[in-house]
Chains A and B, each alone.
Chain A
């Protein structure tokens, strides 16, 4: 059955690759703004239909009652070259959508946890989540105009982070600043992985 794939892979063409990066953090912390600042396209929008019951896949009766809600999923894209893209996915903020995170995080290169120092506790769940799954992440402290600049060390202590996790101060509206966050993440994620 797996006819075409292996032939293509040996045809000498470099296969296309999309790299996933997640942007997590509390509600209203600037996730969508961050994606929009760096994305070459206006953040794309799709939805996931949620089923109330995950069973009865072939049961065509009662379909309407199973589909209860949708989760919006916004993402942006950066084309590195033809066939190599970075995709930034804003993770759904509400706790009841944790299962979406599982799907999003499979195979992800890493994550940006956006933090607002006035509401630092809101990024605890994201920090816990990525730590537990061994997904490399950086904490990006969004410094709005006028917001007090926090020492990264204080943020590190408040979040109980180990010394290796990068903490970056940023302004999600500034392109250069977002680039800085992403290059930090990519470097950390790749260098943190043992090379063979």
Chain B
């Protein structure tokens, strides 16, 4: 019952079917995950899947999802890749920061930092 040595590994194995990498296009640590459908049969999904779907109703970066699930990043990624394949979440494509930060966002960030 207590976590004997192989316990955590077996649990992680169960979550991912032993896979180390997510299906489909790779995604960044801070890629934004957004739930697009919560129309799932709970019995067909692991609790972790349902947690993600609930959490990502507000768009949430991958790293936050991992911290929330208390799971390693690559395990979290496998889970997210599966949910994406099922069409339940979207994961935005990582873009270089230089292309995403325009003058307006830059000013917002500076203002936000200064008023902390």
Contacts and interface: CB of A to CB of B under 8 A. Distances in A.
Do A and B bind?
yes
Interface of A: 4-5, 8, 15-20, 38, 44-49, 51, 57-60, 63-64, 66-67, 70, 73, 75, 77-81, 83-87, 89, 103-104, 106-110, 175, 179, 182-183, 186-187, 189-190, 193, 195
A5 B74 CA distance: 24
A79 B61 CA distance: 12
A48 B98 CA distance: 27
Interface of B: 6, 9, 12-13, 17-21, 28-32, 34, 36, 59, 61, 63-64, 66-67, 70-76, 87, 90, 92, 94-98, 100-101, 103, 105-106, 108-110, 112-114, 116
Given A44-B64, A57-B21, A85-B61, A78 B113 contact: yes
B13 A44 contact: no
- Per CB-CB distance, the 4 closest pairs between chain A and chain B, nearest first, are A80-B112, A44-B67, A60-B18, A18-B30
B73 A47 contact: yes
A186 B96 contact: no
A77 B113 CA distance: 12
Given A15-B92, A80-B112, A186-B113, A20 B20 contact: no
A19 B67 contact: no
B70 to A, nearest CB: 8
Nearest to A195: B103
Contact of A107 (B76, B90, B96): B96
16 contacts: A15-B32, A17-B32, A18-B32, A20-B29, A45-B67, A48-B74, A49-B72, A58-B18, A58-B19, A87-B30, A107-B30, A109-B101, A189-B97, A189-B98, A190-B106, A193-B98
Considering residues A18, A20, A44, A86, which has the most beta carbons from chain B within 10 angstroms of its beta carbon? A18
Contacts of A78: 112-113, 116
Contacts of A110: 97
A49 B17 CA distance: 15
B16 to A, nearest CB: 9
B63 A87 contact: yes
In the complex, which of the residues A85, A183, A187, A190 has the most CB atoms of chain B within 10 Å of its own CB atom?
A190
B9 to A, nearest CB: 6
Contacts of A64: 6, 9
B74 A186 contact: no
Which of B32, B73, B74 has the most A CB atoms < 10 Å from its CB? B73
Contacts of B34: 8, 16
Contacts of A70: 72
Contacts of B97: 19-20, 107-110, 189
A97 B34 CA distance: 30
